[in-house]
């Protein structure tokens, strides 16, 4: 499961429902990857910050600019991380809706089958009543002719 960044800088994720268990596993893996990426980002930022602070020959203005850029970069990555978490939540919500929709479809199909069965039984009863009436009418006609 992966995402692409479009021209607006938004993460685009395509979702395909295969099996809920696989999706849960993939989502957990994706969340774990995000956690590791966040840790790597933090470590990288800390390392870069130490390197910048240790650079004694940098002019103070340059140092401030570099620190500001680093802060902006960290904020941007954190924002992207939050957007990815929100996408995961949306995917989970959509998955739940799909599962509920499937259950409703199953229930509707079952009801339809029950109604069809009841309709067939009713038709059979009506046909049986008709046959009995015809038999009774024929017996009455035979008895009337005999008398």
The alpha carbons of the chain give a radius of gyration, in whole angstroms, of 36
Model pLDDT, residue 56: 65
Q: What is the pLDDT along the chain (147 residues), one digit of tens a residue?
A: 456 777 777 766 665 554 456 667 888 888 898 899 889 989 998 988 888 777 766 567 777 888 899 999 999 999 999 999 999 899 889 988 888 888 888 999 999 999 999 999 999 999 999 999 999 888 888 887 776
Model pLDDT, residue 132: 92
Give the C-alpha distances (Å, rounded to integers) separating 3 from 83, 88, 89, 90, 130: 11, 11, 15, 14, 67
Beta bridge partners of 12: 4
Domain locations in the chain?
16-146
Model pLDDT, residue 107: 92
Cα separation, 67 vs 8, in Å, equals 25
Cα separation, 108 vs 125, in Å, equals 25
Model pLDDT, residue 27: 81
Model pLDDT, residue 30: 86
Instruction: Answer yes or no: pTM beyond 0.75.
Output: no
Model pLDDT, residue 14: 62
């Amino acid at each position: 499961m992966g995402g692409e960044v479009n021209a607006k800088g938004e993460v685009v994720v395509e979702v395909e429902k295969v099996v809920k268990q696989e999706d849960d596993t993939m989502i957990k893996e994706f969340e774990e990857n995000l956690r590791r990426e966040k840790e790597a980002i933090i470590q990288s930022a800390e390392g870069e910050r130490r390197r910048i602070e240790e650079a004694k020959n940098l002019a103070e203005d340059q140092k401030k600019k570099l620190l500001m850029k680093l802060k902006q970069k960290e904020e941007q990555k954190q924002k992207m991380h939050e957007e990815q978490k929100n996408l995961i939540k949306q995917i989970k919500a959509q998955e739940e809706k799909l599962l509920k929709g499937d259950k409703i479809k199953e229930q509707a199909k079952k009801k339809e089958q029950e109604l069809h069965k009841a309709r067939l039984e009713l038709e059979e009863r009506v046909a049986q009543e008709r046959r009995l009436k015809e038999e009774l009418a024929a017996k009455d006609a035979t008895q009337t002719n005999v008398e």
